[in-house]
Amino acid sequence: MAASDVKLLGASPSPYVNRVQIALNLKSIEFEFLEETFGAKSELLLKSNPIHKKIPVMIHNDKPICESLIIVQYIDEVWSSGPTILPSDPYDRAMARFWAAFVGDKWYPALKELHAEEEEAKTAALEKLMEMMALWEDAFAKCGKGKGFFGGDCIGYLDIAFGSFLGWLRVTEEVLEIKLIDEAKTPGLAGWAERFCSHEAVKGVIPETEKLIGLAKIFQARAKAQSQN
């Protein structure tokens, strides 16, 4: 597949964009990455995603596909000759989709709540998040069936959906000096996270922690300035 046939509009620090990058890499699909500037929206982005006006957007043969998990499913269906991303078993596929939705609906919002200014809110958020990490440990055991990834022997749909957030999880751990993935409490997740980030399809996709920390400081400064206006 020629690079000109597949374009990805996104920004490197976005875990949602990282999902698509990893899926494309897994399938060995060449693509052109069009970097969007933070705080601005290109004409191509507005034209390609007029409803939500956000990244990522993948353009395949001049047709735009929006929303990260929808794009990942599209990639799996169109390039069916490569490694399978979604489980073949209907029940396993349903469970993968359930937990993938849990990332966006419950887990990631709880992670962001840890950065609240009020200590009481932080404490409540940490308690809630640690309960979720225990759920993830159990989900890994059930979905992975004793193998290296949520998808079994290979990276799958849920690995991509959850693993793309490991960069920002590490930022939270370092900035707040806490441990969310603990080798003692969540040994399965700890091993999985290391394997996931070392995978060839993932290397170089998720930005380094220090880079993300610097970006987080910029976000916080801009949000604070806006709140004071």
What does the pLDDT look like over 148-207, one tens digit per residue?
A: 999 999 999 999 999 999 999 999 999 999 999 999 999 999 999 999 999 999 999 999
Mean pLDDT computed over 8-25: 97
Q: Give 219's pLDDT tier (boundaries 50, 70, 90).
A: confident
pLDDT at 227 over 70: no
pLDDT score for 38: 83
How far apart, in whole angstroms, are the C-alpha atoms of residue 198 and residue 206? 11
Q: What is the DSSP string of 38-65?
A: TT---HHHHHH-TTT--S-EEEETTEEE
pLDDT score for 8: 98
Q: Write the CB contacts of 117 (distance below 8 Å, at least 6 apart in sequence).
A: none
Tokens describing residue 150: 């949520």
How far apart, in whole angstroms, are the C-alpha atoms of residue 13 and residue 22? 13
pLDDT score for 1: 44
pLDDT score for 82: 83
Note whether 173 and 180 are within 8 A (CB). yes
The least confident of 18-27, 36-45, 47-56 is 36-45
Domains with residue ranges and CATH for the chain: 3-78 (3.40.30.10), 90-209 (1.20.1050.10)
pLDDT score for 2: 47
92 compared with 227, residue with greater pLDDT: 92
pLDDT at 7 over 50: yes
- How many percent of the chain have pLDDT more than 90? 84
pLDDT at 208 over 90: yes
pLDDT tens for residues 113-127? 998 878 888 899 999
pLDDT at 3 over 60: no
- Identity of the amino acid at 68: S
Pick the closest to residue 30 from 6, 53, 50, 65 (CA basis): 6
Can you say whether the dihedral through the CA atoms of 18, 54, 118, 130 is positive or negative?
Answer: negative
Tokens describing residue 189: 């997740």
Pick the closest to residue 218 from 176, 169, 171 (CA basis): 171
